[in-house]
Structure formats: structure tokens, C-alpha cells
Structure 1
Amino acid sequence: MSLFFFLSGFNFSSWTSRIPTIKSALDLNEAELGSVLLSMPISSLIGLPLSGWLVSKFETRKPLAVGFLLNSVMLAFIGLAPSPVALVAVLFMFSLSMRVFNIAINTQAITLQKQTDKKINGSFHGLWSTGGIVGIAFTTLLVSLKVEMVPHLLIVSAISLVATVVAYQYLLRHDVAPAKSKVRFGKPDPFILYLGLLVFFSAVCEGGMFDWSGIYFQEVVGEEVFTAGYLIFMSFMALSRFISDKIIDALGVPTTYVFSAFLIFTGIMLAILFPTFWPAMIGFSMVGFGTASVIPMTYVLAGTSDKYTPGMAISLIVTFGIVGMLIGPPMIGYLAHAFSLKVSFISFAVAGLMLIPISKLFFKMQNR
């Protein structure tokens, strides 16, 4: 399971760190790039019912492995896309497969945490971020060596395909969840609503940083090695996730949400007000540290639902994250095209601050 978390981050950062390359190769402006990026969250949203059904119907290792295999194949095709339309089609399938294995692997992680009675979910997400760091570092090396995007993504795809076949046998077995209440349309469940909104605003920040941090460093900070900002963001995200369980034990979950919000807001504003190399690097590191705990911490809370199975609860929560991804990266593109990329990043600061009132409402409801 650890290997899949690592490779998931490695694959994802390998694609996102090449976004500036794709933008230049296809001659896209910020608004056009935002429109292309819309295909991913739309695909995830479409695939959500399928993902929830698969993890409640089968052992989670099966949709995890199939989804990851398809995702690895699509990663190779991203570099081969000859036009924006072709890229949209490939990203659609890339995101759909990513949605399936993400829900499956997070369900496995929460099941294992319950079996061991230890807080390990944050460490698993730390492995995802570590994979992301390795992916960005690998991309940085290849960019500095003038290696083209196509062979780069083909290498990553091949590694992932082989690793999936080897690691499949070590995943959890016989974890089909017992039936609980099915999703019914009507008045939103406050438990799911508040946790979903926390994931939503975190996804706006996290997804936007994934897709636009490289371009920010390229166009606003003016760095030739544009992966520097993305790398520092992912590095501090990984650091935070490896120690997040200890931070949560020391501060408590409610205070951790407030602490995360403070770091996101301060880091973004620092990068906006002082758009030079070191202030932006420090700011992006704070944002990475701040966003890291929110999603894994919220997934664990979702797994305590009395109404839904862990897989179904996570699937519902992920819906909000998908909408955040739907709004975040394209919104930055449109705002940057209308105003400037620097001004558009203010939306991340606002999204970070929203974690405070929403988390307070959730815990107030829980304490009744």
C-alpha cells in the first residue's frame, strides 16, 4: 500500500510539473489552459458514483490495481497529445482512473488504521507527497538536461506498470464493507456537509498550487528552473504529513485546522506581496505545510460516520474535493487572464481562511 501512495504522488507530480512545458508546446494562454484543466475535475465527478460502487462491491485492491494501471498508461499518452482536444481526452481518462484508485487506496488506509489502532493515515499521505517530491526532482533533473517530455513520461509510466503488477499481491484482502445506509437525495447530512466543505477549500488551494505554482515561478518570480516553487511546496507538504499525526496529538484536531488556515493565508500573501525567489520559496513552503494535514485528517473523520461505510463516506467527501479542483485551477487561469497571475493567487488565501469557521461549525455540531 505504501508503494501505491508513493507512486501515485510520483505520477501526479510528473504530469503537473510538465504543465509549463505543455502550455508552451500547445501555445495556450492562461484561460485556454484553465479550460483544458477543467476536463480533470469533470471526469472525476463523473467517475465518483462508479468509484463508490466499486469499493463497496469488491475488495478494494481490485479497483485500486485496475485504476492505477489505466492511470499509468494515460500518463504516457499525455506527452503524446498533439492538440488541446486530444489532451482534454487523455486528461479525462487520466483523472477518471485516478479517482477510482484514490478512493480505493484511502479506504484501504483507513481500514488498516482501524485494525492497528494507530494514527498512520497521515504517514501514508506523507508517502504520496514524498513521491511527489521525487517526481518533481526527477523532472527538474530532466529539464536541466534538456530531456523532452515524451520520454520522461514514458519512463514514469513503465515504472508504475511494473510496480503495480509486483505490489498487487501485498494489498489488503477480504475488506468488502458490510452494507450501511445508501445515499439518498434530500437535505444534506451536516456531518458530510461540513467535512466536505473543509476538503473543498483545501482542494482549491492544493489543486491550484499543483497546477499553477510552476507557472507562477516562471512568469511572476522569473525563474528559469520553474519547478523550484512546486518542489518546495511538495517538500514541506511531505514533511508536514509525516509529522501531522504528532501535530494533531499535540494540538488537537480543531486547533490543527486553525493552524493550517494561518499557514496557508500567510504563505500565499508573502508570495504575492514579495514576488522574488526567497520570499516566494518561504511562502510556498508555508502553504505546503498548511494544506498537508487537512485532507487526510478530514478523511479519518469521515471514516467515523455512523451512517455510511468508510468507502462511501470518503466517496461523498471526495465529491466536494472534486468540485474544489473543478473551481480552483480553471478559476486561477481565468482570473490571471483577466487581471494577473499574482492577483489571482489571492483566492488561495481566502480559501485557506475559510477552514477556520467551517471547522468550528463542525466541532460545535459534534459536541452537542
Structure 2
Amino acid sequence: MELKIKQRLFLSTYFFISGICFSTWASRIPTIKTTFGYNEAELGTILLAMPISSLAGLPVSGWLVSRYDSRVPLLAAFILISVALCLIGFASNTFMLVASISLFSFALRILNISMNTQAITLQKKFDRTINGSFHGLWSTGGIVGVGISTLLVAMDVSMGIHLLSVSVLALVVSLFSYRFLMRDDRAASGNKLVIGKPDPYIVYLGLLAFFSAICEGGMFDWSGIYFKEVVKVELFTLGYLTFMIFMALSRFASDWIVERIGMAKTYILSASLVTVGIALATTMPYFWPSLIGFCFVGFGTASIIPMTFLLAGGSKKYSTGMAISLIATYSIAGMLVGPPMIGYIAHAFNLRISFIAFAIAGLMLIPISQMFFRHRRSLK
């Protein structure tokens, strides 16, 4: 097998397993809410641990990908994720839960930076766009994770056993796949943050990541609760599962769509789908309208981060790893704002009204993306 094909195959495995790990955690948030008896505002506060600890992981991840081949922090992150998942499953009090979630989020940040650095660098070896397929496999892993969660919830399997099983799987697969990952991908220059006037190229991409993270992160954390408490569906993972399925379909199709209509129009299409989907789910909070609305939101949000990270690789000022790390800062800010904001709005009004924030965030993608492409044209 050709080397670049083998590297793509095993890097795809990391994306797939990381999707399983994340969706396993996200699909159990309603279980955590019920087990600890949190209201929406309290849960929103607990969820703040994720973006805060993720933000703490940014300088560490940036330093790691500039000092080592990206596969080194990638493996280290997977080991920490496996430990954190297990701890979340057996947390017996709020302090232990928050500490475990913080470790999980910290490791996820290192994982995302190193994994996407590998992906963008490997992309340069191919004549066609392949980055969307990596993120599609992440979403596919998410679907598998939610599917397993749905089955185990129906079987009344404890959260501790569930998360322990997934953590062992992640650890075994990551250790086996490590030796097949791409080596020598550390950039020789552009690894230091330049203090001064912000680079518009990075700022525009960062804002796209920010508003995308509000939608994506909020849906990850609240879609299950929306189906449980607003739509009144007993098997609450169905909403999250639907969102993830259409996210995966969109990401596999995104490379083809971008090649046909271009990135500028794809951002507009994505924003429109998010807005229509949220409008449908909130104006008609019943099973089928909400399910179809979540399909639109999943399809709309899916291609934004892969496109934005791919564009980050074109930065003239920073290396791929550093550019992704900077843009990820905006993404974390979106996750810092999004899920807790939904919790506070829901507590003040109701959960259905709070979801309108996702539609507003989706609409913001249109003007910002157009400003970015105008700026990029001005650089030529």
C-alpha cells in the first residue's frame, strides 16, 4: 500500500475513534443532569468547565505541535481522554465530575490541534480535497457512539460501565495506530505568535469558527435535553443521533460540494440550512418537525470547521499548526459562550426560546465569510 494512503487510513482511525469518545460523553449529559439533579442553569455552569479547560490546553497544544511531530501529542491526548472518560463515568460528586470533564476537555484540545495539523499536512500530498472526509469519519464515529449509547440506555446499562468500555477501546486503537501516522511534519518556521496588529486573515477565519462553535457545541450539549424536555421523547438520544448522522453525510459530501460551487457559496448554504433547521424545530416543537430541523442543522454546521481549518493552512504568516491553534481559540470562545448561554436563557425563559441563539449565530456566517473572501482576493 502506498505510504500516503496508509497514513490517511490510520489517521482516519483516530478521527473515527475520537468521534466515538466525544459523542459518548455528549450523549450521557442528560444522564448526568438527572443523576446529580442539576437544573438548566447549574448544568450550564458545569459545562463551562469544558471551554475553560480547553482554553488552558491551547498554549500547550501549540507548543507541542511546534516542538514535536504532531503524532506525539496526538497519542498523549488519546491516553488522557481514555482516563478522563473513565473518571467521568464513575464520578460520585460535583467536584470529581468537574475535574474529570476538565481533563477530558484539556486532552480534546491537544487532540484536535495535533490531529488537524496531521490532516492539513497530509492533504498537501493529494491532488484532490480530502479534509472533509476526515471530519466525516469523526462524525461517523459520533454516530456509532450515539448508537451504542442509545442501545445501552435502552438496556439500562450504567454510565460507568459504558464509559469504561469506550475508554479501553480508545486506548487500544490509539496505541496500535500510532506507528502508522505521518512523521516529520513539524514546521520549520511560523511557529511563534506575533504580537501586534491582528492578522485579518486569521481574525475572519476565527470568527467563522466562533459562530460555528456556538451552533455545533450547543447542539452537542443540548440536543438530547431538547428532545427529552421539549419534544418529550423518552429515548432522548434520537435528536442527537439524527444531528450526527446528517453532520456525517454533509462532511463526506462537503469535498464534492466545495469543488462544485466553491467555498464562498458553501458557507452561505451552510448558514441558510442552520437557520431554517432551528426555525423549524422551535416553531413546531414536535417529533417529526424537530427531527427534520435537526437534520438541516447537522447538514449546515458540518462543513464549516473543515473548510475553515483548510483555509488556515493557507496562512502566509503562521505555520499550519499555529494557524489552527489560533483559530481554535475563537472556536473555544464560541463553546465558552454557546452551551452555558443556552442554559441561562433556558432557565430565564425556556429551552425552546434559547435555541433561537443558534439561528442568529448561523446567520452571522454569511457576512463574515464574504468579508474573508474579499480580504483573501485583496492579498493576491
- Taking structure 2 as the reference length, the TM-score comes to 0.96
Query: Which residue does 1:264 correspond to in 2?
Result: 274
For residues 377 and 183 of structure 2, the distance between their equivalents in structure 1, rounded to whole angstroms, comes to 36
| Residue aligned with 2:37, SS | coil
- After TM superposition, give the deviation of residue 325 of structure 1 in Å: 0.4
- After TM superposition, give the deviation of residue 73 of structure 1 in Å: 1.1
Query: Which residue does 1:275 correspond to in 2?
Result: 285
For residues 153 and 54 of structure 2, the distance between their equivalents in structure 1, rounded to whole angstroms, comes to 30
Conservation of the 8 A alpha-carbon contact between 2:191 and 2:321: no
Matched, 1:237 2:241: no
Q: What does 1:50-89 correspond to in 2, within 5 Å?
A: 50-89=60-99
For residues 180 and 151 of structure 1, the distance between their equivalents in structure 2, rounded to whole angstroms, comes to 44
For residues 47 and 12 of structure 1, the distance between their equivalents in structure 2, rounded to whole angstroms, comes to 17
- After TM superposition, give the deviation of residue 79 of structure 1 in Å: 1.1
Query: Which residue does 2:331 correspond to in 1?
Result: 321
For residues 169 and 200 of structure 2, the distance between their equivalents in structure 1, rounded to whole angstroms, comes to 42
Matched, 1:304 2:304: no
**1:231-268 Cα deviation digits (max 9, x unpaired):** 00000000000010000111110000000000000000
- After TM superposition, give the deviation of residue 181 of structure 1 in Å: 6.1
Matched, 1:209 2:219: yes
Query: Which residue does 2:341 correspond to in 1?
Result: 331
Conservation of the 8 A alpha-carbon contact between 1:181 and 1:307: no
Amino acid at match of 1:76: C
Specify whether residues 127 and 367 from structure 1 end up closer, same or farther in structure 2 by C-alpha distance, changes over 3 A only. same
Query: Which residue does 2:364 correspond to in 1?
Result: 354
Query: Which of 160, 165, 184 does residue 150 from structure 1 map onto?
Result: 160
- After TM superposition, give the deviation of residue 294 of structure 1 in Å: 0.2
Amino acid at match of 2:304: V
Conservation of the 8 A alpha-carbon contact between 1:199 and 1:320: yes
Unaligned ranges ≥5, structure 1? none
Matched, 1:127 2:137: yes
| Residue aligned with 1:139, SS | helix
Conservation of the 8 A alpha-carbon contact between 1:264 and 1:290: yes
Query: Which residue does 2:258 correspond to in 1?
Result: 248
Amino acid at match of 2:314: T
- Displaced runs of 4 or more, over 6 A: none
- After TM superposition, give the deviation of residue 118 of structure 1 in Å: 2.1
Conservation of the 8 A alpha-carbon contact between 1:140 and 1:225: yes
Matched, 1:189 2:195: no
**1:108-142 Cα deviation digits (max 9, x unpaired):** 00011001232110000000000000000000000
Query: Which residue does 1:34 correspond to in 2?
Result: 44
Query: Which of 34, 49, 52 does residue 24 from structure 1 map onto?
Result: 34
For residues 34 and 280 of structure 1, the distance between their equivalents in structure 2, rounded to whole angstroms, comes to 22
Query: Which of 236, 243, 263 does residue 226 from structure 1 map onto?
Result: 236
- After TM superposition, give the deviation of residue 175 of structure 1 in Å: 1.1
Unaligned ranges ≥5, structure 2? 1-10
- After TM superposition, give the deviation of residue 348 of structure 1 in Å: 0.1
For residues 316 and 181 of structure 1, the distance between their equivalents in structure 2, rounded to whole angstroms, comes to 11
Conservation of the 8 A alpha-carbon contact between 2:69 and 2:186: yes
For residues 121 and 141 of structure 1, the distance between their equivalents in structure 2, rounded to whole angstroms, comes to 31
- After TM superposition, give the deviation of residue 31 of structure 1 in Å: 0.4
**1:119-168 Cα deviation digits (max 9, x unpaired):** 11000000000000000000000011111111000100111111111111
Specify whether residues 25 and 245 from structure 1 end up closer, same or farther in structure 2 by C-alpha distance, changes over 3 A only. same
**1:30-74 Cα deviation digits (max 9, x unpaired):** 000000000110011111011011001101100000011111110
Amino acid at match of 1:48: L
- After TM superposition, give the deviation of residue 180 of structure 1 in Å: 2.1
Amino acid at match of 2:234: E
Query: Which residue does 2:188 correspond to in 1?
Result: 178
Mean CA deviation greater in 110-119 or 137-146:
110-119
- Taking structure 1 as the reference length, the TM-score comes to 0.99
Amino acid at match of 1:156: V
**1:170-211 Cα deviation digits (max 9, x unpaired):** 110111111126212332110000000000000000000000
Query: Which residue does 2:295 correspond to in 1?
Result: 285
| Residue aligned with 2:125, SS | helix
* Number of residue pairs matched by the alignment: 368
For residues 43 and 184 of structure 1, the distance between their equivalents in structure 2, rounded to whole angstroms, comes to 24
Instruction: Give me the CA root mean square deviation.
Output: 0.7
For residues 181 and 268 of structure 1, the distance between their equivalents in structure 2, rounded to whole angstroms, comes to 39
Identity rate, percent: 61
